[in-house]
Amino acid sequence: PLIDCMVRLIKPQAGEVIQDPAAGTGGFLVAADRSIRQATDDLYSLNPEQSHFQRHNAFRGAELVRDTYRLCLMNLLLHGIESPIDCINSLEAVGEKMGKADLILTNPPFNRFPNRVNRPDFSITAGAAQGPIPFIEHVVRSLNPGGRAAVVLSDSVLFGDNVGQDIRRYLMDLCDLHTILRLPTGIFYAQGVKTNVLFFTRGQTNKGNTKAVWVYDMRANMNAFGKTRLLTEKDFEEFEKAYGDDPNGKAKRIDQGPDGRFRCFTRKEIADRDDNLDLSWLQDDNDEAEDTLVDPEDIAAAIMSHLRTALEEIEALTVELSPVKVDSLQEAA
């Protein structure tokens, strides 16, 4: 349901180049293709040249894990997609060769890896540990002016300091980050993370593109999702209505106030928060939501979520206490 919701809102169009730099088994690409086929009478309303493009050149993807890559190829072929998908690491130099895109839909890995980013074209995350943050730079650099993106990211990306803060400023400068969806707990319990979807549009210039960010809180005061409470398309109906029918987030919107789920934050308000995008305002009793869990696997996953959050906070503190800062503290003592 989440993938289909993102596709409905971002509205892929025939003739666009659509990319997923962390393709997995190809779920986003298949969903985008399905949306285009539904709008074009299964491509029959297109001329032969346009139809050929859709089948052979409209999609770009990369997947690092070879077994997953094979599943991705099989999935795409079964759905009539013969576009080039590569078994590569998007954060290595070869990732630049994926080229530009009009639309990017992706869910980068939530974990960080010891390998360092090796992209000569990167400036913000060059040399950083591979993980979700460098994928943001890849997406921003890969979008054509006016291009759209919807990216699933963990909470830690929204509030981390240092390179995390730098990438958020970079994103809001070069793109119009118009919407953030705070997802309910339980969607990615296997990884034990809390997640969000960021919707943004690449600007025509490289400065000051984000004027305000709209945040929809689908997490606070929601029953925890899991094996006994599956997420459905109906759960996204209110968000889709609030988002509107403009894929660039330009439809008329209403700030629902401190008691509502949909609110607007100006760029200045965000800057005053040191560009922290972990924006929440509703009083939330997570314990009550987790009390509704009955499946042992869901309960264990909820515990994992709390442990992972604590670990992310420790990692952030470790970065702050870099060797230079530790030496300075010792000298001061």
Report the relative pairing of strands 59-62 and 85-86 from DSSP bridges.
parallel
What is residue 231's predicted lDDT score, i.e. its pLDDT?
Answer: 85
Range(s) of the domain holding residue 274: 2-332
Nearest partner of 26 among 65, 74, 66, judged by Cα = 74
**Closest of 275, 309, 302, 281 to residue 155, by C-alpha:** 309
- Count how many domains the chain has: 1
Tokens of residue 68, six digits: 């997953």
pLDDT value, residue 272:
98
Q: Are 243 and 204 in contact (CB under 8 A)?
A: no
* CA–CA gap between residue 224 and residue 30 (Å, rounded): 28
pLDDT the model gives residue 111: 79
Helix (H, G, I), strand (E, B) or coil at 40: coil
| pTM score, whole prediction | 0.86
**Contact (Cβ atoms closer than 8 angstroms) between residue 158 and residue 133:** no
**Is 147 in contact with 265 (CB distance < 8 Å)?**
no
Instruction: Characterize the bridge pairing of strands 59-62 and 18-20.
Output: parallel
Task: Write the secondary structure of 110-139 as one string of H (helix), E (strand) and C (coil).
Answer: CCCEEEECCCCCCCCCCCCEECHHHHHHHH
Q: Directed axis angle between helix 27-39 and helix 66-78, to 10°?
A: 10
Mean pLDDT of the chain: 88
Per-residue pLDDT of the chain (333 residues; tens, 9 = 90+): 899 999 999 999 999 999 999 999 999 999 999 999 999 999 999 999 999 999 999 999 999 999 999 999 999 999 999 998 999 999 999 999 999 999 999 999 987 777 899 999 999 999 998 999 999 999 999 999 999 999 999 998 999 889 999 999 999 999 999 999 999 887 765 556 789 999 999 999 999 999 999 999 999 988 777 777 788 999 999 999 999 999 999 999 999 999 999 999 999 999 999 999 999 999 876 545 555 555 566 566 666 655 665 665 565 555 444 444 334 334 433
CATH classification at residue 268: 3.40.50.150
Note the pLDDT of residue 114: 75
